[in-house]
Structure 1
Amino acid sequence: MAIDALVALLVAASVFCLTDGGVRLAIQFALVRRIGFVFTPKLIIVGDSLAAGCPWRKLYRLPFATLNLATGGATIKEIAGQIYRARDIRAPWLLVDGGLNDLLFDSADGEQIESDFSALSRRIGDDRRVIVTLMPYVADPAQTTRINEANRRLLKLCAARRYKVIDLNPVISKDGVRAADMTPDGLHFSGKAEQVWLDAVSSVIRFKNT
């Protein structure tokens, strides 16, 4: 059994490193279910395009330590579906990112975002340690007040549920507007902003483990 697991690990790691996207995700899901004690991730990521594009594998040396279920364009309700998809995977950490699509493209107000996030939280098991990233400011200052209102509500929910919270805005934005070097298009993260996010998540996980 140990030899079979080792062979599977070597083959899977080779294939995993040479593929991406849906193929990579399918391989990882299959391995978690077949040889969970070897391939169970340490961190599951759910969210929208910000999380989908971030190179989370930099957080750990092992290729299977993170499982990124985030997809571009996902709303909070769809992110809840991502959480449900990972319900049988016992990773100790869950990172949640989302809300901008609801706010910017679906015209959701703070009350709706709070309601949807509350429903999302009910998908999370009590055995998960949760990190929630607040919504980052965008380049359009007209959205600042709405983002502040939504984040205020998310903070209240996270405090009630004892979730860890990451607020990137003090670093990647100024006066409620995303800094030019932190975004290529006013919405998504530049490589520099992604590294800020990775460092923040790494700090939370290290702090919890000490």
Structure 2
Amino acid sequence: MTTALVTGANKGIGLEIVKQLIDLGMTVHLGARDPERGEKAAADTGARFVQLDVADPASVRRAADSLERLDVLVNNAGITGGRLNSPGDVDTANVREVYETNVIGPIIVTEAFLPLLRRSAHGRIVNMSSTVGSLADMMSNDYPDSLAYVPSKTALNAVTVLYAKKEPGLRVNAGCPGYCATDLNNHNGIRTAAQGAGIAVTLATLDDDGPTGGFYDDNGAIAW
């Protein structure tokens, strides 16, 4: 049976990814920082709870040591930082906190679980990114000009490409869920969390000859 781990999965898009992967017959490990919330979410979905804070290397290592196999890793955990951080009005400590979760976190998690993923016959890594991080239209789009969240997703896209380059035996891709109504945006999004989870599930279940090193949403490839 295919085994998956989803980070930041006790609510929102992460929780919906867990549900949809379970519906496909996978054994899913639900990663979350808070044991109480994580245990409850796992019990509600039939997942297996794993305490994991992506910004805490020790907790990530304990999580990796607790698993015997892994086929799919979904790096979903992410934060906005709670403030705009527009150029000219930046809280650098806040920017650092966002990068720790959105960029360094996925690297820490991926490095910890790479040995298991390499042993899988169908290893997949999905990094949950956003079109706001696309350099192709950053000058022309009307997204908030955050020096925290926006470039953290640009950096995550670069991380995705480099892992795809160095791990040809795996399928490593970035996915954008779209503007979903979650706690991340005070539920102002126009899509549901379940809809946003779809691209992660698609990339997690790619055929062995499927693409790697790409950036996708429900409509297909996105320009970097």
- Structures share a fold, TM > 0.5? yes
Larger radius of gyration: 1
- Distance in structure 1 (CA, Å) of the matches to 2:188 and 2:4: 20
Gapped runs of 5+ residues in structure 1? 1-39, 173-177
Does 2:162 align with 1:160? yes
Name the Cα RMSD after superposition: 3.9
Does 2:5 align with 1:44? yes
Deviations along 1:60-95, one digit per CA (max 9) or x if unpaired, are: 447762221224697531487246414333121111
Give 2:95's aligned amino acid.
A
Q: CA deviation at 1:167?
A: 1.5
- Distance in structure 2 (CA, Å) of the matches to 1:157 and 1:204: 16
Residue in 2 aligned with 1:4? Answer: none
Mapped contact 1:158–1:164 kept (Cα < 8 A): yes
Deviations along 1:102-139, one digit per CA (max 9) or x if unpaired, are: x33871337655445433332122442211112687xx
Gapped runs of 5+ residues in structure 2? 38-51, 84-92, 118-123, 133-142, 165-171, 210-224
Mapped contact 2:55–2:105 kept (Cα < 8 A): yes
TM-score normalised according to structure 1 size = 0.55
Does 2:94 align with 1:107? yes
Residue in 1 aligned with 2:207? Answer: 208
Mapped contact 2:55–2:104 kept (Cα < 8 A): no
Give 2:72's aligned amino acid.
W
SS of match in other structure, 1:125:
helix
Q: Which of the residues 18, 35, 38 maps onto 1:56?
A: 18
Greater share of helix: 1
Mapped contact 2:76–2:128 kept (Cα < 8 A): yes
- Distance in structure 2 (CA, Å) of the matches to 1:142 and 1:71: 28
Residue in 1 aligned with 2:28? Answer: 66
Give 1:155's aligned amino acid.
N
Mapped contact 2:20–2:201 kept (Cα < 8 A): no
Mapped contact 1:44–1:68 kept (Cα < 8 A): yes
Relative contact order (C-alpha < 8 Å, sep 6+): which is higher?
2
- Number of residue pairs matched by the alignment: 157
Residue identity over aligned pairs, in percent, reads 8
Mapped contact 1:94–1:131 kept (Cα < 8 A): yes
